[in-house]
Structure 1
Amino acid sequence: MDNIDLIEGSLDSIKKIKVKDLKERIKKEKLFHFESKIKKKDLIAKLIEHRKEYEDSSDEEMDEIKEQIIEITDNIQEMNLDDPDKDKNYVLFKNNILYEVCSILKDLVEECRIVFNNEGFEIKMIDKSLVCLLDIMIKDCYERSNILDNNKVVVINISELMNILDCKETDQQIKVIFEEDNMLIHFCRYIKNCDKFKLNLLNENLIDEVQDFQMEFEQSFVINSKEFSKICGKLKKFDDKIQISYELLNENNVKFKSKNELIELNSNFENNQLVSINITENLDVFLLLKYIRIFCKSDKFSKNLIVKLIDRDHPVEMEYQIDSKSYVKFVISPQNCEDEF
């Protein structure tokens, strides 16, 4: 079978080639990329698509088309295969971001309002203790989406959703199909090999829509997110609050303090701790470490954490920028602390 031309040869002859040999031929000729566990029928479908590209092009264009196809990631569901959900409201995630976001939410809220659209999803919530505001915007997270309306709003129980998401295996993709009263969650390998779950949606009126949070923060500093997580991990051993302070006389230092423990960071680019400081007055604010520790789970999203402040009587904003369009923000109320540390 080695003498069969994969581009112009008979498809019937190609289908007789063993899948192992077919994979080796495609790799050797650098025709396109595919997953190692791909089934033969899906591999044939990709080959058909590749042949169509060839037939529609001139010889001069073929080299460029080959380059493009080699760079294509495995996207079998966009080939000429029947998608049983093509007429439904659904999204197919290309990464694990839904699980990662929900693993943070579960410690802060019981029910959650999520707005899905074809660009991504958005969450604006106030935690159950009314201490912090969550503002999460995730873009470019789908392999494919088909939201028929501009926005699909769902209210769900986070614990129940996490119980389902915990069943996902590493090599499965998350597909969410929206029905009137349910959210179907499929963990897929290719198209038809799926584990299927159904989650009942809650009444949309259960949670009020949170309006955009508008506040001008005049002071800020940027710190390595992993380093900040380490600091908070140490401080939690000594108290339930963290004191963040800054003195103009010591302009290169932001201090993080709890009872019996003092950690001081210097604005030193070599140690990758404090990245930058934009503070023009003395600051002193107390925050609950319980919440800060939950926020620190977001350090996987961004190398740096942006902390924005006004004074000790106003909220503090912590932002993890995932990219130019996506972010995870927390706005937390300060804690009055009359006792001196």
Structure 2
Amino acid sequence: MERIRHAVLVQTDRNSAIVLSRDESFTVATDGSFDLSRAWALLKQGASSGEVAVTIGCDVGAIESFVAALRDVGLWIEVGADREVVSVVSALETLNAAVTMWKRHSVIHPIFRLLEDEQRRSSLLISLMVEVCHFTAQTPRIGCVAAAYASSSDGRRRLLLHAADEQDHYIDLTRAVGKALSVDGRDILSSQPAIATTLICSYLEHLARNHVPAYAACLQFLEADPGVAEKAHDAFTSLATKNDVPVAVAQAFARHSREDMLAGHASVGPAVIAAEFPSGIPAVAMDEMLNAVHTLKHSFDSLYDALSTEWADPAQSYLLRGAVRADMI
């Protein structure tokens, strides 16, 4: 059976779009007789060219031509072949391609356009940094949970080393953000994280307890690629300067990224997966890993959505949300 390859559609206008597929990108276009995004959505659901044409009210030939164009660039593929076990090498190549695709999609979220446009948005940037502090403080504990449930000694060892490396990183981050807000760094962690941050941490802990390879796949999404980490200092400094946030705060986040790179954190996830599945990866487990990363990516989208909304409405905006006390109700 032939289906559209899983990819990210970034529409540029009604009739054309950029498609992020694995570690490549393509431009696709229609003949103007149908809405590209509707046709794409129906094809992703498994509809035939005829069904798509009837649903959106266009000539079936236009859809068939569109499908042929997708096939020419490798976006229309054969699926459903026997694949009970996937080799480790093939699985890690697929995972890396998917992670690359979803990372590229993540960084074009509207929150980053807000942070890079002509307006100064210090509250939005600091709010994002506060959530990173909350998240970073939780990751070592979750990593230790994953280590406890790992089935291989090598996977367990790598997860424990990763957790140990991350153990104190939140201290430098919270101290820097605290100075920017004129509060003690401990006040950052005593504030209430955004609901989306709490859900992200809960989801990762669920994976750590129930599917260590899926947790390891998510680590690959969370850790910066070496090339990106090398550029972190300039990127963070640019964002901070543009949004009137002290450069010292940006430098703390850049140090964290660089320390992770030097410690080889980008390779931890794939190494754990290989340790957990030395003889090949069951296709079902491979699908579960990919879906875990996809869910995590959209969870971060939800966090960015929430922060962007709160920043846009001053009545809802907050930087540090205090805990509720019973004697104040």
Give TM-score scaled by structure 1 length.
0.22
**Which structure would you say has the larger RCO, counting Cα contacts within 8 Å and 6 or more residues apart?**
2
Larger Rg: 1
The answer to which structure has the higher helix fraction is 2
